[in-house]
């Protein structure tokens, strides 16, 4: 997982006078918000201003609400997964592609202590704030589901998956089994037993999805 770092303060100077570029401001703002989250401090306008060196006006212009800023900060370092290849030969190829995408996802794979800490922090924050939860869902999680759901749709059209398959519910069952390990069992994906259980759950759901 890569983290944004505050851009080199000298960069703006070297580029000559004028306002720093927008992406620089964003990086500074997100890094300041993330530092507060990691320190388990409330993310307030005053603290982000103090931590980022960005003016209050610039902060408000870019992030009119702290909720969306926190949601974006929680998502730093995560990206939308690549599209899943769906042009392989038959059910076996689609299965391989889906399994590889899920079991090879870095967020379920070699989970570093760091990533897990950030994950636990994210869940705490969204459980405390439904508005943040909805913002994070719609602007981040829902987006990351796209490639897998599109692959399921192709599988349905190609007659590999059931014609009446509920694509969203399929994803919920698979992702739910993963979240369950971390949130309810308190297990880690570093543990081979956890990874075996996730794979077994995926096998069961996949069988249930087949035409």
Q: How far is the CB of 202 from its own copies (least distance, A)?
A: 8
Using CB under 8 A as the binding rule, the residues of this chain from 173 to 202 that contact its own copies are 173-181, 183-186, 197-198, 200-201
- Which residues fall within 8 angstroms of residue 9, CB to CB, at 6 or more apart? none
For its own copies (CB under 8 A), the number of binding residues is 42
Q: What CA–CA distance (Å, rounded) separates 78 from 89?
A: 31
Stretch that binds its own copies, among 57-65, 82-90, 103-111, 171-179 (CB under 8 A): 171-179
Q: Which residue has the tokens 């769906």?
A: 86
SS3 state of residue 161: strand
Please compute, for residue 204, the number of CA atoms within 13 A of its CA located in the half-sphere on the CB side: 9
Using CB under 8 A as the binding rule, the residues of this chain from 133 to 152 that contact its own copies are 133-134, 137, 141
Residues 41, 45, 47, CA angle at the centre, nearest 5°?
A: 45
| Contact flags string 86-125 toward its own copies, x per CB under 8 A | ----------------------------------xx-xx-
Q: What CA–CA distance (Å, rounded) separates 124 from 57?
A: 29
| Residue closer to its own copies, measured from CB, 58 or 173 | 173
Contacts with its own copies by CB under 8 A lie at 120-121, 123-124, 126-128, 130, 133-134, 137, 141, 165-166, 168-170, 172-181, 183-186, 197-198, 200-201, 203-209
């Amino acid at each position: 997982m890569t983290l944004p770092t505050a851009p080199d303060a000298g960069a703006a100077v070297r580029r000559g006078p004028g306002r720093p570029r927008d992406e620089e401001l964003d990086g500074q703002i997100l890094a300041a918000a993330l530092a507060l989250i990691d320190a388990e401090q409330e993310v307030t306008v005053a603290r982000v201003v103090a931590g980022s060196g960005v003016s209050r006006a610039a902060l408000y212009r870019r992030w009119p609400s702290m909720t969306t800023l926190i949601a974006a900060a929680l998502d730093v370092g995560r990206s939308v997964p690549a599209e899943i290849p769906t042009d392989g030969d038959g059910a076996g190829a689609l299965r391989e592609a889906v399994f590889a995408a899920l079991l090879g996802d870095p967020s379920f794979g070699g989970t570093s202590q760091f990533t897990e800490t950030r994950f636990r922090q994210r869940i705490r924050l969204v459980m405390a704030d439904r508005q943040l939860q909805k913002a994070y869902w719609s602007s981040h999680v829902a987006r990351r589901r796209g490639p897998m759901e599109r692959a399921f749709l192709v599988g349905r059209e190609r007659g590999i998956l059931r014609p009446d398959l509920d694509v969203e519910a399929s994803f919920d069952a698979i992702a739910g089994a993963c979240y369950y390990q971390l949130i309810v069992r308190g297990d880690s994906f570093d543990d081979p037993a956890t990874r075996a259980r996730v794979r077994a759950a995926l096998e069961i759901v996949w069988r249930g999805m087949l035409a």
